[in-house]
Structure 1
């Protein structure tokens, strides 16, 4: 049986231990979604860790999870492909970076092409 690598304390399942009697766990604050003109997104092309399959990754979105999922659905629909939203990133199957940059620019986002 192999051991699972822990990348952060959150991978422990949410346990918090403190010897401080006055310790209070900080609650996550829901961030408001910035207007598209104030968003600076990055469009990456990647195939690492995906069994050689190519994907386009959009990162840098600041806002609620629901708004991120809505944007992801828009991109998947316009490109006609599948994808997902994970770890505050939109993952689109295939190399659609140029098309995605064009779509996001028309929507009012500031998009930077990252990588070759």
Structure 2
């Protein structure tokens, strides 16, 4: 039995397979602007703001999300190249992103 097929060891517990480095399928826009969308579908009516269109090769999404969450006073996460911020204060989020040097558009209703 080779080490590549090992999934559990009594010494270390569950062994995770090495993650293959696949580029994220990020939606980038031709006009160079990022979009702030609002989504509440599948979240029991709780709305979140999605920051879409940031290139993960040029910016550290986790660090940017951490800064935005602390300045907004909200929770959030980074999932599949999209920054999710809880709540619905898109104007404040737009101002924060513009001061960080991004061209921002508010998308959706």
TM range (shorter): 0.5 to 0.7
TM-score (norm 2): 0.68
CA-to-partner distance for each residue in 1:62-114, whole Å, 9 max, x for gaps? 02497011111111010011000001100001002111100001111011110
Equivalent residue, structure 1, for 2:99: 106
Matched, 1:61 2:45: no
Unaligned regions of 5+ residues in structure 2, if any?
1-20, 25-30
Q: Report the secondary structure of 2:108's partner residue.
A: coil
Equivalent residue, structure 2, for 1:90: 83
Q: Distance in 2 between matches of 1:42 and 1:66?
A: 15
1:99/1:56 CA distance change after superposition, 3 Å: same
Q: Distance in 2 between matches of 1:108 and 1:114?
A: 19
Residues 34 and 51, structure 2, Cα contact 8 Å, conserved in 1: yes
**Structure with the higher fraction of residues in helix conformation:** 1
Q: Distance in 1 between matches of 2:83 and 2:42?
A: 16
Q: Runs in 1 of length 4+ with deviation above 3 angstroms?
A: 27-30
CA RMSD in angstroms, aligned pairs only: 2.5
TM-score (norm 1): 0.64
Unaligned regions of 5+ residues in structure 1, if any?
1-26, 31-37
